[in-house]
A and B are shown apart, each in its own frame.
Chain A
Amino acid sequence: MAERRAHGSGRYALGVAAAVVLLGISIIASLGVGSKALEPGQIIDSITGSGDDYVDAVLASRVPRTILGVIVGAALAVAGGVMQGVTRNPLADPGLFGINVGAAAAIVTGAAFFGTVASSSVWLALIGAVVAVIIVYALGSSRGQAGTTRIVLAGAVVTAVFSAYVQAISLSFPDVFDAYRFWVVGSLAGRSIEQAWLILPFIIVGLVLALGLAPGLNMLALGDDVATALGQRPVVVRLLSGASVAILAGAATAGVGPVLFVGLAVPHIARMFSGPDHRRLLPLCIALGPVLLLLSDVLGRVIARPDELMVGVMTAFVGAPALFIALRRLRGERR
């Protein structure tokens, strides 16, 4: 990854300004677009308390998904940025890390053997995500240094084995399967506002941790030897990074189900404006992640009218091409 260093402050300021404007637009679009379209004026009227009851009701149904979209988008994007930094692998994405399948395994286990409780399933998903991260990391770093594509490959292995378990459980228990098939597509629709408040504290903790790690991630990019010489402890940075990725992506997955590729694509877009400096990259991810997720969600509402395409389906179709483009850029490098 030979990023050019010449990213001026001007370009970064432009990126931040554009991201904030886009964030505003996508929030308004998320509130306004749907089977009943609302004008921006109506939305503002309703927020200031002078809208009619019907508009209020429509808006109320779209507020939870918009809030969830913002916090989950930010969480996934930052998790992706941290992962790409710590593995020095531009293709890293929390979804490819086995986090989804870890959360899924925990959720079907809970549903099958302890009965599903909506609020406790978030906790279960988090635990599952953390366990998956630990296993993937252990596999990917055995016999030498973790990095490059190894983590992704380890993620593929863990995904294969855990999916077999998930399928075995969900097909053995019809009720579990019925809940699972709607969870696994990843959707912002039909979630309650309580779900957003439940995962918000985790995401805040994860974001703070990630931002605090930014200088350490910059050092890591120089190689372990240099980082050590400069007084960093690479192992500590890696462990804390793994923790922040697990918390962020685990909470996001617990909130809306597995959503792939947001964590992969957003850091790439952000890097065009921020350069490789994580102190600039990660904040930009916080703004741009929600933009991608909300716009995908809005697009899913528009293209399949009168039905909706779930956001997880949309991001797969939008995000996989981003993966292919990133892959092609690796031309010449041996991976």
Chain B
Amino acid sequence: MTAHHRILRVGTRVSLRVHVRTLVVITCLVVAIIGLAVVTLALGDLGVSPLQLPAALFGDTGASSFVVQTLRGPRLLVAIGAGAAFGVSGSLFQRVTRNPLGSPDVIGLMAGASAGAVAFGILWPGVVPLPVGAVIGAIAAIALVYVSTGTGFASPGKLIIAGIGVQAIALSFVQFMLTRIKREQATVLATWLNGSLEARSLDDVGIILVVLGVFGTVALVLSRRLALVEMGDDIADGVGASASRTRTFAVLTAIVLAAGGVAVCGPVAFIALMAPHVARVVARSSSPVVAGLMGAMMLLFADVIVQFVPAPQQLPVGVVTALIGGIFLGGLLMSQWRKGAL
């Protein structure tokens, strides 16, 4: 117990060990998310002024409540939910692999999920629902990376190169399918493949909230066990938190969270890589809560940028995160080299 911790007690039964800095960061992130949410709802021609928001949210069946409840509300909630799912997923992966690059993007999971979604959306429609297809693709990609490195997830360099290979297979399949369909369909699919928040429905909101609710909770439980595993496998086994089982569950949870995000808004690039990093630097904690909030804030922020940028057609949000994330990845690799970790 360090000086940075406080014990929070509710009555005599419930007590919580709290990291003060983490609490401050969480508060700031929540405020930022609410602020960005107001901006998203109020922005542009169709926007609803902040003063009218409460009325539009609850009751009132006029034009402004249509905008908030049908047009922009779902988009906003999907952005928050999927961003959080990506953030938590990335955080779990990076902790399990003990590797700052162990992100779902870098190891080909996102590309695998896209390929799975495309396979079960176009090639074998109706066999399984699309989100399940995305999970199948993601699991296949991870399995392939795990096997082909020869050392599991241990070596960062090998991980990336195997990921590049898996990505090449998955993307060439996706690109091939893109040549097989009509131009209009292909444009819609390509937009989704970049990660897009356009025209989300309440169904999407439902999917991501269920996935996040169930597996986010699992992630919280696993996070404590992972903290033990990080002290060494022997210690974890000794206190009854089997190290290998914890890792397996963590990877599976991370896969479902990432695939859930992909199912509702496509493979948005690099949120899962960036969010846990920034969260760790800012909060000095690897809590999945901070990583999740950071992911939600980042995706929401990127979506605001997309809606501001003047373009002939509104760009998919993933283009913005790919641009920023690519530069971030470059910086990250540089710092890894400097440390001699690669």
Contacts and interface: CB of A to CB of B under 8 A. Distances in A.
Interface of A: 91, 95-96, 139, 142-144, 148-150, 152-154, 156-157, 160-161, 163-165, 167-168, 170-174, 177-178, 181-182, 184-185, 260-261, 309-310, 312-313, 316-317, 319-320, 323-324, 327-328, 330-331, 334-335
A317 B169 contact: yes
A260 B342 CA distance: 24
A161 B322 CA distance: 7
B129 interface: no
B183 A174 contact: yes
Given A157-B333, A312-B172, A327 B150 contact: yes
A164 B327 CA distance: 11
A316 B157 CA distance: 21
Contacts of A184: 175
A331 B323 CA distance: 34
Interface string B1-12: 000000000000
Nearest to A325: B148
A317 B150 contact: no
B190 interface: yes
Given A160-B325, A324-B162, A327-B161, A173 B312 contact: yes
A323 B319 contact: no
A261 B165 CA distance: 9
Nearest to B144: A324
B162 to A, nearest CB: 6
B68 to A, nearest CB: 27
B59 interface: no
A309 B319 contact: no
B15 interface: no
B169 A320 contact: yes
Interface string B164-184: 111011011101101100010
A316 B168 contact: yes
A168 B194 CA distance: 9
Given A156-B160, A316-B172, A324 B179 contact: no
Interface in B307-342: 311-313, 315-316, 318-320, 322-323, 325-327, 329-330, 333-334, 337-338, 342
Contacts, number: 150
Which secondary structure dominates where chain B touches chain A?
A: helix
B285 interface: no
Contact of A182 (B168, B179, B318): B179
B164 A96 contact: yes
B177 to A, nearest CB: 10
Given A150-B342, A178-B183, A261-B168, A313 B150 contact: no
A80 B233 CA distance: 42
B305 to A, nearest CB: 12
Contacts of A316: 168-169, 171-173
A167 B326 CA distance: 14
Given A160-B329, A167-B319, A320 B334 contact: no
Nearest to B196: A171
Contact of B322 (A163, A171, A330): A163
Nearest to A330: B158
B169 A171 contact: no
Contacts of A161: 322-323, 326-327, 330
A297 B32 CA distance: 53
A77 to B, nearest CB: 17
A172 B315 contact: yes
Contacts of B329: 156-157, 160
B187 interface: yes
B186 interface: yes
A178 B179 CA distance: 9
Contacts of B312: 172-173
29 contacts: A143-B334, A143-B337, A149-B342, A152-B160, A153-B157, A154-B333, A157-B327, A160-B270, A168-B319, A171-B313, A171-B315, A171-B316, A173-B312, A177-B183, A177-B186, A177-B190, A185-B172, A185-B179, A313-B173, A317-B169, A317-B172, A319-B168, A323-B165, A324-B144, A324-B148, A324-B162, A327-B161, A328-B150, A331-B151
Contacts of B160: 149, 152-153, 156
Contacts of A177: 183, 186-187, 190
Contact of A181 (B190, B316, B333): B190
A260 B327 contact: no
A171 B187 contact: yes
B149 interface: yes
B172 A149 contact: no
Given A153-B157, A177-B186, 9 more contacts: A149-B342, A160-B325, A165-B323, A171-B315, A172-B312, A181-B179, A323-B162, A327-B148, A334-B155
Contacts of A323: 148, 161-162, 164-165
B114 interface: no
B303 to A, nearest CB: 15
Given A164-B326, A323-B165, A324-B165, A153 B172 contact: no
B311 A172 contact: yes
Contact of B165 (A142, A143, A165, A320): A320
A150 B337 contact: yes
**Most B-side CB within 10 Å, residue of A154, A170, A319, A323:** A323
A189 B250 CA distance: 46
A159 B274 CA distance: 17
B168 A260 contact: yes
